[in-house]
Amino acid sequence: MQTVFEKQLELLKNNQKSWLVTGVAGFIGSNLAEFLLKHNQKVIGLDNFSTGYRDNLDDIKKSVSTEQWKNFSFTKGDIKNYDICETVTKDVDIILHQAALGSVPRSIDDPITSNLSNVTGFLNMLTAAKNNSVKRFVYASSSSVYGDSKELPKVENKIGNLLSPYAVTKYTNELYAGVFHKCYDVEPIGLRYFNVFGKRQDPNGAYAAVIPKWLSALINKKEVYINGDGETSRDFTYIANVIQSNILAGTTTNDKAFGEVFNAGIGGRLTLNELYNSINRELEENLENFTKKEPIYRDFRAGDIRHSNANIEKLKNSVGYEPTHDIDRGLKESIKWYIENLRATT
């Protein structure tokens, strides 16, 4: 029996729509664009390359056919510039808004810049969508919105005190989206991402996510650091599940989903210690001459949530979401990609 997602993919084959993907040169944006192009969709990409890379666009081109690539167009621009937002949202059917300055530590270091991209930029895109009559507006929120709430698993309507400027920006996005749905003819749907990982996620820089950062260090025989005691836990979500949640949110006919926000995770959790052991085990199986390395523990990181685990029933019931990749399957696919690509570049 076909899932809701499988049925939707069949419909996409013969029903080409125009999708705007902001942050298209980033990790999640580039994966979304590649998937859409492979399913006969037209993709307009926007990025300012502040955290995205031209190499990711080149990688998309290599991954799709010549005919599919013809359905892609790109604009270099910044969502902080309203005129750019106005231009790229013309003649668009669905917006997948991924552009943002991620990272809790980055926002603590520089809250003003995070606010400019994540709040001003978000409002620019939302307003441009309204003015150009683009109804469907799917946007990336974050599990950081749950703050110091100790409830597990996390349920959408129960959040705690926010712990970082980044969390404030994402919660502000949710508030704006809800108001735009009430005041204007817009159909926003928010997805609270839970520690997304997968191919093309940048392992470099001060704000790199933990999985690519550890993989890069271990493959290159460098030290690995764990913040805190390693018992911090996360609902690590493979990119394939996030792609599915975006496509379903972008195409759902359930009007009760509009103006709402949903957990986009897998509904499980792993401690950092467990994750580290899983990564080492996979590398031992897939990388010649690999020797497991003991991590170095250091202080907890400011603004971090202690435990994160998504209740995904709301997303399942509203749009038919069924995650296809658990943490183990996601890690196997990711590690294979990182071994091939990090070895090629180091």
Catalogue the active-site residues: 166
Of 163, 164, 165, nearest to 112 by C-alpha is 165
Distances (CA, A) of 217 to 26, 79, 231, 270, 281: 21, 33, 21, 20, 15
Give the full edge-to-edge strand order of the sheet including 94-97. Answer: 72-76, 42-47, 18-22, 94-97, 136-142, 187-193, 260-264
Please tell me the number of Cα atoms within 13 Å of 102 on its side-chain side. Answer: 25
Cis before 188? omega within 30 = no
